[in-house]
């Protein structure tokens, strides 16, 4: 079997321990990548990060529901939001800043301002989770510490995507000088990527009900693990596909339908995602186009035929439009759910 390195502990929020796990069956032999193995996640880790997986409590979603609406956090938050938006506009490339097309320039600046504001509000909503509700009739005011935490999260997370207008413009113009058409194209990419960044940050990466594996269960380490995929989405980038076994390598555009399904599911279930675009799966797997995800822990226990949340979770995936959902009872899926769109 592969000589597993002990996974790094998740470096995000601490998660309560899972109930004791039954001994897992041993992993398959090292030759399985080339022998048509359907998935690389049928084997299970024992201990380590596995103990942290899927351990979010049912109360998590309720806590998230208690977060006040964005944009209503008082004067400190308003000032910080203005600061990040002003900085983002100031960082626009010269091709936009010096543009004589006033309409286009104004639309870009409005998009950047809106993206910065939404990203900051998302970070603040996360930073204020669990804050006591204000007295009746009182507005919820963010404290200095909460605003500072939101600013730190912004700079490391969604704010990265907000600052990438220049990069997107460079990508669409190639070697050519930037034209209005290039700026328009960059604006479309920018709007899509920044909106996706905020959703992925608040609804997946920082969700109290989603755990993201930061390694492949195969033991292979690359930049295509689920945690890194989501980090890249938050940073406004494409996501990496693994390059081992059947996996073709390269990078793909994230799929908003899949991301929104995950965001929807975590309102009802807590789960651990083992793979998005990464890992080695069957040939032509939907994972390689970012159209699938795998879950091996659900509502505090491993996915098995005895996990009473599995049937409902699989049906919820179908209700969200999944074209194929496989789980216990299907070959190769006794210990995980695969859902694809
Ligand atoms: Zn899968």
| pLDDT per residue as tens digits for the range 227-244 | 999 999 999 999 999 999
Which segment of 2-6, 159-163, 260-264 scores lowest on mean pLDDT? 2-6
What pLDDT, on a 0 to 100 scale, did the predictor assign at position 71?
56
**What's the angle, vertex CA 47, arms to CA 44 and CA 49, rounded to 5?**
85
> Distance between CA atoms of 179 and 95, rounded to whole angstroms?
8
pLDDT band at 37 (very low <50, low <70, confident <90, very high): very low
Q: How much of the chain, in percent, has pLDDT values that exceed 90? A: 73
Which segment of 39-53, 80-94, 280-294 scores lowest on mean pLDDT? 39-53
**Fold annotation for 210-340:** Muramoyl-pentapeptide Carboxypeptidase; domain 2 (3.30.1380)
Average pLDDT over residues 14-20: 38
List, as one string, the DSSP characters of 11-29. -SS--PPPPPPPPPPPPPP
Distance 237 CA to ligand 1 centre (A): 22
Distance 340 CA to ligand 1 centre (A): 8
Distance 160 CA to ligand 1 centre (A): 29
Distance 338 CA to ligand 1 centre (A): 4
What pLDDT, on a 0 to 100 scale, did the predictor assign at position 139?
77
What pLDDT, on a 0 to 100 scale, did the predictor assign at position 31?
27
Q: What is the pTM of this model?
A: 0.80
> Distance between CA atoms of 217 and 254, rounded to whole angstroms?
22
Are 188 and 165 within 8 A, CB to CB? Answer: no
Distance 39 CA to ligand 1 centre (A): 7
Distance 212 CA to ligand 1 centre (A): 14
**What are the residue ranges of helices labelled H in the chain?**
59-65, 75-90, 94-97, 102-127, 144-156, 158-162, 165-173, 180-200, 226-234, 256-265, 310-319
pLDDT surpassing 60 at residue 289: yes
Distance 313 CA to ligand 1 centre (A): 15
Distance 199 CA to ligand 1 centre (A): 22
The number of angstroms, rounded, from the C-alpha of 312 to the middle of its chain's C-alpha atoms is 22
| Max CA separation in the chain (angstroms) | 67
Distance 34 CA to ligand 1 centre (A): 17
Residue that is written with structure tokens 């113009």 in the block: 173
pLDDT surpassing 60 at residue 2: no
What pLDDT, on a 0 to 100 scale, did the predictor assign at position 135?
78
What residue spans define the domains of the chain? 63-205, 210-340
Average pLDDT over residues 196-205: 98
Distance 281 CA to ligand 1 centre (A): 7
Distance 322 CA to ligand 1 centre (A): 12
Across the chain, what does the average pLDDT equal? 83
pLDDT in tens, 115-149: 999 999 999 999 999 888 777 877 778 999 999 99
Which segment of 138-142, 178-182, 197-201, 275-279 scores lowest on mean pLDDT? 138-142
pLDDT surpassing 60 at residue 58: no
pLDDT surpassing 70 at residue 4: no
Distance 286 CA to ligand 1 centre (A): 8
Tokens of 339: 């859902």
Which segment of 23-32, 48-57, 128-137, 159-168 scores lowest on mean pLDDT? 23-32
> Distance between CA atoms of 111 and 133, rounded to whole angstroms?
32
Average pLDDT over residues 68-90: 86
> Distance between CA atoms of 241 and 276, rounded to whole angstroms?
9
pLDDT surpassing 70 at residue 276: yes
């Amino acid at each position: 079997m592969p000589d597993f390195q002990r996974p790094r502990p998740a470096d995000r929020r601490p998660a309560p321990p899972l109930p004791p796990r039954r001994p897992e069956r041993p992993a398959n032999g090292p030759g399985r990548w080339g022998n048509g193995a359907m998935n690389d996640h049928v084997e299970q880790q024992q201990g380590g990060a596995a103990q942290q997986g899927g351990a979010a409590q049912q109360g998590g979603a309720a806590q998230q529901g208690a977060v006040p609406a964005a944009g209503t956090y008082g004067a400190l938050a308003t000032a910080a939001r203005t600061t990040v938006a002003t900085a983002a506009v100031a960082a626009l490339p010269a091709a936009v800043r010096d543009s004589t097309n006033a309409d286009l320039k104004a639309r870009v600046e409005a998009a950047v301002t809106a993206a910065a504001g939404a990203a900051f509000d998302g970070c603040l909503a996360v930073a204020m989770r669990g804050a006591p509700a204000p007295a009746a009739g009182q507005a919820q005011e963010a404290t200095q510490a909460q605003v500072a935490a939101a600013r730190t999260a912004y700079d490391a997370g969604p704010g990265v995507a907000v600052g990438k207008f220049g990069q997107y413009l460079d990508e669409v113009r190639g070697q050519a000088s930037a034209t209005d058409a290039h700026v328009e194209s960059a604006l479309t990419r920018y709007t899509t990527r920044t909106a996706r960044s905020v959703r992925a940050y608040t609804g997946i990466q920082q969700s109290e009900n989603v755990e993201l594996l930061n390694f492949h269960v195969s033991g292979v380490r690359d930049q295509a693990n689920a945690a890194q995929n989501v980090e890249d989405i938050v940073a406004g980038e494409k996501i990496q596909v693994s390059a081992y076994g059947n996996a073709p390598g390269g990078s793909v555009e994230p799929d908003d339908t899949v991301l929104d399904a995950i965001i929807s599911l975590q309102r009802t279930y807590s789960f651990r995602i083992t793979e998005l675009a990464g890992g080695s799966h069957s040939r032509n797997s939907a994972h390689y186009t970012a159209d699938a995800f795998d879950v091996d822990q659900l509502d505090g226990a491993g996915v098995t035929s005895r996990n009473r949340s599995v049937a409902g979770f699989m049906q919820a995936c179908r209700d969200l439009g999944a074209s194929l959902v496989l789980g216990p009872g299907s070959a190769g899926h006794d210990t995980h759910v695969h859902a694809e769109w």
